[in-house]
Homo-oligomer: A and B are copies of this chain.
Amino acid sequence: MALRRYIEETWRRVSLRHGFVEVDGPTFEYLDLYKVKSGDEIVSQLFHFESRGEDKKEFALRPEFTPTLARMIAAKANSLPRPIKWFSIPRCYRSERQQKGRLREFIQWNVDIVGDASINADVEIIALCVDALREFGLTTEDVRVEWNNREMLVKALTEKVTTAERIPAAFRILDKIGKLRPEDREKLYIDEACSEKERMVFEGLHSIVQKGLDVIGTEQAAAAEDFILEFNNYFLEMAKPTAERLKNAGLGKYSRAQMMIVRGLAYYTGLVFEVFDKSGASRAIAGGGRYDKLIEMFGGPSLPAVGFGMGDVVLENILREKGKLPVNLVSAPDVFVVSVLDDPAPAYVTLSELRTSQWNPEHTKISQTGLSAVSSYKTTKNIGKLLQEASASGAKLALILAPAEYDRGIVKLKNLATREEKEIPKDQILAAVRAALQRGP
């Protein structure tokens, strides 16, 4: 849970500092809503149920947030100032076999800019995604955003390779071949009725992408067909303005144009991208793109939109594999109050003062926080036993209230790691505790 909160809070912090506003919707929606975008096949992947009462409506636990977002924006499109910059961190559900990187219940960060068709919005979406990856400690050594643009790809394919009618088949092929063995790729080309030219281009692109675009212009690339290189150069020329923009935004090393990224979903209209672990083992960490027709499909006005989603499951696996998870996620108490006074009131007052102290004066009202202060529920007056409990709790400091000193206006502050102990006047507890915590263990 501490790990989930760490992931969620990182997502939220990054979203807020880019000026996005948090939204959420209900956990379940009418089942039909999910068919609008994904067709009837989606139903078998959903947890769904019937409402009681006369109407017998079918509901489904949300498998993703985009249909809810589209429904909400369609309903309020005219009253929302644009661009609409929203993020959400919903729990989502899929009724399918669990496996590595895929659970039945998970959380997913969604970020969308609606109402702006510019390249600046595209770049902001990628920048935000990379900012989060950086915040999790993932560097250019670890991850890469591979992006493409469906418009560009359609242009390149129809000018150089195939006809407009064949584009859906080409997209299906490009989306799949990266994951297939050579014999399965051959089968796919036959199933999709590919021409010899199409087959050659797809195989060529596959081999360029496998070796890395960096091979272009090197000796290794000499093996690639001239036509594939020409196609690739034509494509890269079209990609230049976006690539330049990403470079200006400091994202050059985090991203590369990649012709085979098309994304499975039908509704993307321009930019598409996925974030991959460079060591290559697992699924995409995040994915998104531009979907300028979707709000209309949900009954809203024509509004351009771009966004992405990032789930917690794959991200957590990758952070764990790469040793990027923070240590000490579960916070131990700051102070354990050990009181052996007859009167229970001083311990209560001290606990209350520590807990409500203003630790960060620069903070806003919402995030201000006190110290974590605890005490034993036992009624023993054995200081040794209570100090044992204090150590077991993981607390950094013990504050000892004992009759002889307390009557002189003194309490003892003990550093439970170093065993160092000192007397402090009881009206200076807060200052002494802060000083001790700032010094660290």
Across the interface, A360 reaches (CB within 8 A) one of B52, B360, B370, namely B360
User: Quick check: is A365 within 8 A (CB to CB) of the other chain?
Assistant: yes
User: Quick check: is A37 within 8 A (CB to CB) of the other chain?
Assistant: no
Number of copies: 2
B121 with A377: CB separation less than 8 A: yes
11 contacts between A and B (CB under 8 A): A1-B21, A13-B369, A16-B372, A17-B355, A19-B393, A49-B49, A49-B50, A118-B379, A127-B348, A131-B352, A360-B363
Residues in chain B near residue A249, CB distance under 8 A:
344-345, 348
Residues in chain B near residue A81, CB distance under 8 A:
392
Across the interface, A91 reaches (CB within 8 A) one of B1, B27, B345, B377, namely B27
User: Quick check: is A261 within 8 A (CB to CB) of the other chain?
Assistant: no
Residues in chain B near residue A121, CB distance under 8 A:
377
- Contacts A52-B95, A249-B344 supplied; 7 other A-B pairs, CB < 8 Å: A5-B22, A18-B372, A19-B372, A51-B95, A120-B379, A124-B377, A249-B345
A 24-65 binary contact with B (CB < 8 Å = 1; else 0):
101110000000000000000001111110000001010000
A367 with B367: CB separation less than 8 A: yes
Q: How many A residues face the partner with a CB closer than 8 A?
A: 79
User: Quick check: is A250 within 8 A (CB to CB) of the other chain?
Assistant: yes
Residues in chain B near residue A105, CB distance under 8 A:
26-27
Residues in chain B near residue A14, CB distance under 8 A:
355
Q: Which residue of B lies closest to A86 (CB)?
A: B1
Residues in chain B near residue A24, CB distance under 8 A:
1, 4
User: Quick check: is A2 within 8 A (CB to CB) of the other chain?
Assistant: yes
Tell me the chain A residues, 271-302 only, with Cβ under 8 Å from chain B.
none
A371 to B14, CA, bound (A): 10
A63 CB, nearest partner CB in chain B, Å = 13
User: Quick check: is A330 within 8 A (CB to CB) of the other chain?
Assistant: yes
Q: Which residue of B lies closest to A393 (CB)?
A: B19
A377 CB, nearest partner CB in chain B, Å = 4
B345 with A248: CB separation less than 8 A: yes
Closest 9 pairs between A and B when the two form their complex, measured CB to CB: A49-B49, A19-B374, A120-B377, A249-B348, A17-B355, A248-B345, A19-B333, A17-B370, A248-B344
B248 with A343: CB separation less than 8 A: yes
B378 with A118: CB separation less than 8 A: yes
Residues in chain B near residue A264, CB distance under 8 A:
none
Residues in chain B near residue A250, CB distance under 8 A:
345, 348-349, 352
User: Quick check: is A93 within 8 A (CB to CB) of the other chain?
Assistant: yes
Q: Which residue of B lies closest to A124 (CB)?
A: B377
Tell me the chain A residues, 310-346 only, with Cβ under 8 Å from chain B.
326, 329-331, 333, 343-345
Q: Which residue of B lies closest to A95 (CB)?
A: B52
B362 with A438: CB separation less than 8 A: yes
Q: Which residue of B lies closest to A246 (CB)?
A: B348
B373 with A17: CB separation less than 8 A: yes
Residues in chain B near residue A48, CB distance under 8 A:
49
User: Quick check: is A234 within 8 A (CB to CB) of the other chain?
Assistant: no
Most buried by B among A47, A344, A355, A372: A355
Residues in chain B near residue A23, CB distance under 8 A:
1
Across the interface, A131 reaches (CB within 8 A) one of B113, B344, B355, B379, namely B355
A372 with B17: CB separation less than 8 A: yes
User: Quick check: is A227 within 8 A (CB to CB) of the other chain?
Assistant: no
User: Quick check: is A405 within 8 A (CB to CB) of the other chain?
Assistant: no
User: Quick check: is A9 within 8 A (CB to CB) of the other chain?
Assistant: yes
A28 to B59, CA, bound (A): 15
A349 to B333, CA, bound (A): 39
User: Quick check: is A245 within 8 A (CB to CB) of the other chain?
Assistant: yes
Residues in chain B near residue A370, CB distance under 8 A:
13, 17
Residues in chain B near residue A113, CB distance under 8 A:
377
A326 with B366: CB separation less than 8 A: yes
User: Quick check: is A168 within 8 A (CB to CB) of the other chain?
Assistant: no
A 245-273 binary contact with B (CB < 8 Å = 1; else 0):
10011100000000000000000000000
Residues in chain B near residue A19, CB distance under 8 A:
333, 372-374, 393
A44 to B18, CA, bound (A): 45
